Structure 1
Amino acid sequence: MDHTDTTVSGSSQAALIDHDIAHIARVMHVSLRGDFGGPILPATYWRKRLTALVDSGQLSPAQLDKVDSLLLQLDRLASTPLPEWERFAPAPTSRFEPAERAKKAKSA
């Protein structure tokens, strides 16, 4: 009876890992490219998630191959320069100041 419970929980764990890997594969690229304010989640976040999966020691060979592939994609995405329209977007921490207000602040 214990063997069956272990198999079911092991099967459930494998399914959870599969779902996690699939989720990361779907959203990692979009999250790294983000919007005009920059990445939604940085490469360090995705690397930490993928490394945690590998460190769990519960990956099947197929899952390990997929995580390895995602890590390679992450390296490529993190090292690829942003498209032209994203490079010149305002930094997310800078405040937008209308031209009139900026002129008044300089003259004061």
Structure 2
Amino acid sequence: MKKIEAIIRQEKLEELKLALDKDFQISGMTVTQVLGHGNQKGVAEFVRGQKVIPTLLPKIAIWLIVEDTQVEAITDEIIAICHTGEVGDGKIFIYNVEEVIRIRTKERGENAI
């Protein structure tokens, strides 16, 4: 099992959720609003005539636990939907998951996903 963590632009969330549900029947995901920066380092804005450069930008973090066989297809889907070619498109991180336990039923492993 793998954990896919994707940091994406806020405006891509709904399109990505629909695609993952339609193409992969994802049974669950965690979505969090986060602040951060990478190479983008903020975008200059003008507030009351003053130039302001926020150092932390709003993004969306998505966590999915999936079977090993789904990782490549799901990451390809995330890239296809979230890629704009501009700085700030986001990142995808993939981690090994040793165990999953569904608390309600005590199921373990892939059955608990």
Task: Work out whether the TM-score is over 0.5.
Answer: no
Q: Which one has the largest radius of gyration?
A: 1
More strand by share: 2
By relative contact order (CA 8 Å, sep 6+), the higher-ranking structure is 2
TM-score, length basis structure 1:
0.29
TM-score, length basis structure 2:
0.29
